[in-house]
Chain A
Amino acid sequence: MSGVNDFAFKMATVNGTGSASANGLLMQAIFRMGIPVTGKNIFPSNIQGLPTWYEIRVSRDGYTARPEQIDLIVALNTSTYAKDVAAVRPGGYLLYDGSWPLDRELMREDITILGVPFGQMCVEAFEGDRTRTLLRNIVYTGTLSALLDIDMAVIEEMLREKFSKKKSLLDANFRAIEMGYEFARTQFSCPLPFHLKRMDATGDSIVIDGNTAAALGCVFAGATVGAWYPITPSTSLMEAFKDFCERYRVDGQTGEKKFAIIQAEDELAAAGMVIGAGWAGARAFTSTAGPGISLMEEFIGLAYYAEVPAVFFDVQRTGPSTGMPTRTQQGDFMATAYASHGDTKHICLYPANPRECFYMASAAFDLAERFQTPVFVLSDLDIGMNDWMVPRLTWDDAHRPDRGKLIPAAELERLAKFSRYLDVDGDGIAARTLPGVHPKGAYFTRGSGHDRHGNYTEDAAEYQEVVDRLARKISGAARAVPAPEFHLQAGAEVGIVSVGGCHGAVLEAVHRLKAQGIPVDYMRVRGFPFDTPVADFLRRHKTVFVVEQNRDAQLRALLTLETGVPRDQMTPVLDYGGLPLTARRVVDAVAQHAHQGTVA
């Protein structure tokens, strides 16, 4: 039910008309009013002309999942009017451009329709087509400010920050805001029943997207080499890394850069560069999406078998093939966990929000170097590209990177003989050396069959000794990856397992189920391979739901493969249409089951 500081509204516009910055302005203004808010951009794979939407959820309780109902829609795209009008909840509101009459067939009796002649107002007030188009967004921002009671002082402060150096633009924007605001104040009953009221709930938070946060994590982890090929939705990760490096890693006097970012010819080369750099001793990473992972598989197998640290950010999008590049999904669990041909298994981290993107980015480099192996950070489009409100990040200045078993020159000097793949202490991890450090450290890295000394082999026993150790090594990583997060309730017989970007919706669902008298335990897995607490949770619950965003229940498949818990004991709750998960999807699935149980 909507109410003060608890509602959702949505802007339907045309891609490339400048609505994105107006929508961002709205979201940030609400955040600055101290009210928890989430913005989700639902955009096309297009530069200009196709429909785009922006959903803003205001939640005094701090819920971040995608809204289930839309209380107000700003319908400014004629090509999607019908769909947009239908999207409003009964009793909700439609705001449209009243410069032209609304098609009679699109009218609805059960909603309130508000017309504002945005286009006409802009034509009268401003010169030039582009300016008029852009400022139309600011006019509706003004109207929404009146309807929702957004603090105009906050809006004006933000416009001043944005256009401080462009006086003429600032004036035009102020005028546009005023026009929209005044029209609403004089023509409509403001504010609407659901509206905003200042809170003090965002003081310790920031608004950031996951790709930016991950890039920041790479900077703090000491990554120096980034190699990549542009691909939606991961592009902004490497671009943010570049921006941060330009800011923090350029020598003020010489202009010399303490980083190397290489835009590769394709994802194959990007993976190769990362592995080459990791082999030479740099902390190196790439950012990509599913199609890139497919291309990188060959190199991933090499890094696994030759034991080279490498970090891969997979900002997942809808697959298979090109799929829907601007829609979200969790479709790469299987593709990353066992990427490449032959027997492989990889460390995977599953951040749930931008804050975890930051910390897991840093953890990924430590794990990659400690276990000398590829590490995947599986974010998704919703986490990576949307603005999330998350608690402020902090960094422990005492932190030192875990470089793993890396033999320095002085130690090599003392060593009688170095063998690259020798397991000295039984943890499956052999010590490595870097090129250029010491003549005794030299070894030959190869993806072909090798023995524990790194020499070429076609001998069955020598080959098996190495691959068996690799299996031991990766098993050991289960205890080093981020531990699962548990939300337990007394008397719960139902367990929910979920992962990554589903978290917000699942947590909200858990709270709502509790309110309905259905206690559930919730476990969010955060790393792969799974440690024993994961299997214990599955065995402890009679009924287990596995909530994830793909068609084939990939997380459930991984759980079955890795823990031995039969798949039929886990009920999948799947959502894979490309939009972020809603809490209702989870509540309905669990409540329906609980209800059936009672009836039976």
Chain B
Amino acid sequence: MTSILKPPVTHPSLPKNALGLTRRDYEGAMSTLCAGCGHDSVTAALITAFWELDVPPHRAAKMSGIGCSSKTTAYFMRQSHGFNGVHGRMPALATGANAANRSLVFVGISGDGDSLSIGLGQLCHAIRRNVNLLYLLENNGVYGLTKGQFSASADVGSTSKKGEANEQPPIDPVLLALSLGATFVARSFSGDKAQLVPILKAGLRHNGFALVDVISPCVSFNDHVGSTKSYRYTREHYEELAPVDFVPLRTEISAPQAADAVTAVRMHDGSVVRFRRTDDSYDPTDRDAAYAHVRRHQELGEVVTGLLYIDEGTRDLHALARTTATPLVDLPYASLCPGNTALQALQEEYR
């Protein structure tokens, strides 16, 4: 089966963003995932997020590993370079690419097998390095391409399509990221685009590693009764935290919703993430409280979603290493090679 390219049909009435591009300009190849796959909804949300943020497609780099989720980098932004690498190793590729060219907007797409089993170490270290990257973990609790084995995010008691119950405790990427010092941690649901899009936009603008765990049901192997990653289970146990608005830098806030907003976090580029009030007053800048909140609801069998934690005061990979503001790829060779005079002088020390 070869890839299917979508015909570039455009309608004159399609709305355009600040770059004069329509949503169609942010689309990619036709998805080859199963009809109804949660991942396709995430792809659609990404297209919206990039389009609404006016990111020039060729200034973005799409990185992924291997698996159903990792295929999706082909399904959006055909005018961006994409890199579908090896299983579980997307963080390393993204880290290297980011080291080389810090001016690109990086999005990494991974799944629960890719991130929590084979690539767990790489995920942890990318968090530690605070690589400037939106890291999407499309989480369905199952290995789809190999037809239905449990993944490391499967909950205890959740059953496979064949009826077998998982007995090993899951690895929760959100708790993991919080404990490792991640600077942006969110969880969402592929079926809730209204929540997902602003989270993705905030994650793209975050100056560091932004982990977004998206429950994204697998319609073929993990959407049955007994699964805790099905559409139905997720909807029934959905606990939306503070709903999020993302206010990009250029947008003028004409109708202040101050009465409704409890927290406004200013991003490094001047954009604002605004959290609307919920019943419990949740502080998304308190790491310990975020951890406790997620744990408390997990014990009740609930899936807490929303932008759970954000810290804009930290330094990313380049700030930590004091790399030049000019991307390394743009440095002229003459500024990199010390030249023969320096070489001769140096060699006096080797005599």
The reply to whether B2 and A299 form a contact with Cβ atoms under 8 Å apart is no
Which residue of B1, B94, B322, B333 is within 8 Å of A222 (Cβ)? Answer: B333
Interface size class of B (residues with CB under 8 A): 35 or more
The reply to whether B81 and A443 form a contact with Cβ atoms under 8 Å apart is yes
Question: Which B residues lie within 8 Å of A44 (CB)?
Answer: none
The reply to whether A447 and B99 form a contact with Cβ atoms under 8 Å apart is no
A568 interface residue (CB < 8 Å to B): no
B79 interface residue (CB < 8 Å to A): yes
Q: Which of A3-11, A78-86, A279-287, A571-579 binds B? A: A279-287
Question: Which A residues lie within 8 Å of B101 (CB)?
Answer: 280-282, 434-436
A439 to B59, CA, bound (A): 8
Q: Max chain B CB contacts within 10 Å: which of A258, A276, A302?
A: A276
A457 interface residue (CB < 8 Å to B): yes
The reply to whether B351 and A279 form a contact with Cβ atoms under 8 Å apart is no
The reply to whether B324 and A257 form a contact with Cβ atoms under 8 Å apart is yes
The reply to whether B351 and A31 form a contact with Cβ atoms under 8 Å apart is yes
Give the shortest distance, in Å, between A57 (CB) and chain B (any CB).
19
Which residue of B81, B84, B96 is within 8 Å of A273 (Cβ)? Answer: B96
The reply to whether B84 and A448 form a contact with Cβ atoms under 8 Å apart is yes
Residues A412-451 near B (CB distance < 8 A): 433-439, 441-448, 451
The reply to whether A282 and B83 form a contact with Cβ atoms under 8 Å apart is no
Question: Which A residues lie within 8 Å of B289 (CB)?
Answer: none
Question: Which B residues lie within 8 Å of A443 (CB)?
Answer: 81-82
Check A222/B337 contact, CB under 8 A, given A256-B324, A260-B323.
yes
A460 to B61, CA, bound (A): 30
Check A400/B333 contact, CB under 8 A, given A276-B97, A436-B58.
yes
Which residue of A306, A395, A436 is within 8 Å of B104 (Cβ)? Answer: A436
Check A257/B97 contact, CB under 8 A, given A219-B338, A248-B342, A442-B58.
no
B328 interface residue (CB < 8 Å to A): yes
The reply to whether B2 and A447 form a contact with Cβ atoms under 8 Å apart is no
- Please name the residue on chain B nearest to A398 by beta carbon: B340
Interface size class of A (residues with CB under 8 A): 35 or more
A568 to B278, CA, bound (A): 81
The reply to whether B97 and A265 form a contact with Cβ atoms under 8 Å apart is no
The reply to whether B89 and A269 form a contact with Cβ atoms under 8 Å apart is yes
Question: Which A residues lie within 8 Å of B56 (CB)?
Answer: 439
Question: Which B residues lie within 8 Å of A277 (CB)?
Answer: 96-97, 99-100
B80 interface residue (CB < 8 Å to A): yes
A103 interface residue (CB < 8 Å to B): no
Residues A269-315 near B (CB distance < 8 A): 269-282, 284, 298-299, 302, 306
Question: Which A residues lie within 8 Å of B91 (CB)?
Answer: 269, 272
The reply to whether A259 and B328 form a contact with Cβ atoms under 8 Å apart is yes
Q: Mark A181-208, 1 if CB is under 8 A from B, else 0.
A: 0000000000000000000000001111
A569 interface residue (CB < 8 Å to B): no
The reply to whether A280 and B100 form a contact with Cβ atoms under 8 Å apart is yes
A97 to B101, CA, bound (A): 59
Question: Which B residues lie within 8 Å of A273 (CB)?
Answer: 92-93, 95-96, 99
Cβ-Cβ contact count across A and B, 8 Å cutoff: 235
Check A258/B347 contact, CB under 8 A, given A222-B337, A248-B338, A276-B92.
no
Give the shortest distance, in Å, between A577 (CB) and chain B (any CB).
30
Question: Which B residues lie within 8 Å of A129 (CB)?
Answer: none
The reply to whether A262 and B99 form a contact with Cβ atoms under 8 Å apart is yes
A562 interface residue (CB < 8 Å to B): no
Give the shortest distance, in Å, between B349 (CB) and chain A (any CB).
9
Residues B309-325 near A (CB distance < 8 A): 318, 321-325
The reply to whether A258 and B335 form a contact with Cβ atoms under 8 Å apart is yes
Check A397/B340 contact, CB under 8 A, given A280-B61, A458-B2.
yes
- Please name the residue on chain B nearest to A28 by beta carbon: B351
A443 to B28, CA, bound (A): 11
Check A279/B97 contact, CB under 8 A, given A260-B323, A265-B125.
yes
Question: Which B residues lie within 8 Å of A399 (CB)?
Answer: 337
The reply to whether B340 and A395 form a contact with Cβ atoms under 8 Å apart is yes
Question: Which B residues lie within 8 Å of A269 (CB)?
Answer: 89, 91-92, 95, 121-122, 125
Residues A82-111 near B (CB distance < 8 A): none
Give the shortest distance, in Å, between B163 (CB) and chain A (any CB).
33
The reply to whether B104 and A224 form a contact with Cβ atoms under 8 Å apart is no
B329 interface residue (CB < 8 Å to A): yes
Q: Max chain B CB contacts within 10 Å: which of A254, A255, A435?
A: A435
B74 interface residue (CB < 8 Å to A): yes
A32 interface residue (CB < 8 Å to B): yes
A451 to B85, CA, bound (A): 16
The reply to whether B86 and A447 form a contact with Cβ atoms under 8 Å apart is yes
B103 interface residue (CB < 8 Å to A): yes
A225 interface residue (CB < 8 Å to B): yes
The reply to whether A276 and B93 form a contact with Cβ atoms under 8 Å apart is yes
Residues B21-75 near A (CB distance < 8 A): 29, 56-59, 61, 63, 73-74
A459 to B2, CA, bound (A): 7
- Please name the residue on chain A nearest to B336 by beta carbon: A222
11 further interface pairs, Cβ-Cβ under 8 Å (given A277-B97, A395-B340) = A225-B96, A227-B99, A259-B328, A260-B321, A280-B61, A284-B96, A436-B103, A445-B82, A451-B2, A459-B2, A462-B2
A-B contact pairs, 10 of them (CB 8 A): A206-B351, A257-B324, A272-B89, A277-B96, A282-B329, A302-B86, A436-B61, A439-B56, A444-B82, A447-B86
* Chain B positions near chain A (C-beta within 8 angstroms): 1-3, 5, 29, 56-59, 61, 63, 73-74, 78-86, 89, 91-101, 103-104, 121-122, 124-125, 129, 318, 321-325, 328-329, 331, 333, 335-340, 342-344, 346-347, 350-351
* Chain A positions near chain B (C-beta within 8 angstroms): 31-32, 205-208, 216, 219-222, 224-225, 227, 248-249, 251, 254-262, 264-266, 268-282, 284, 298-299, 302, 306, 392-397, 399-401, 433-439, 441-448, 451, 455-459, 462
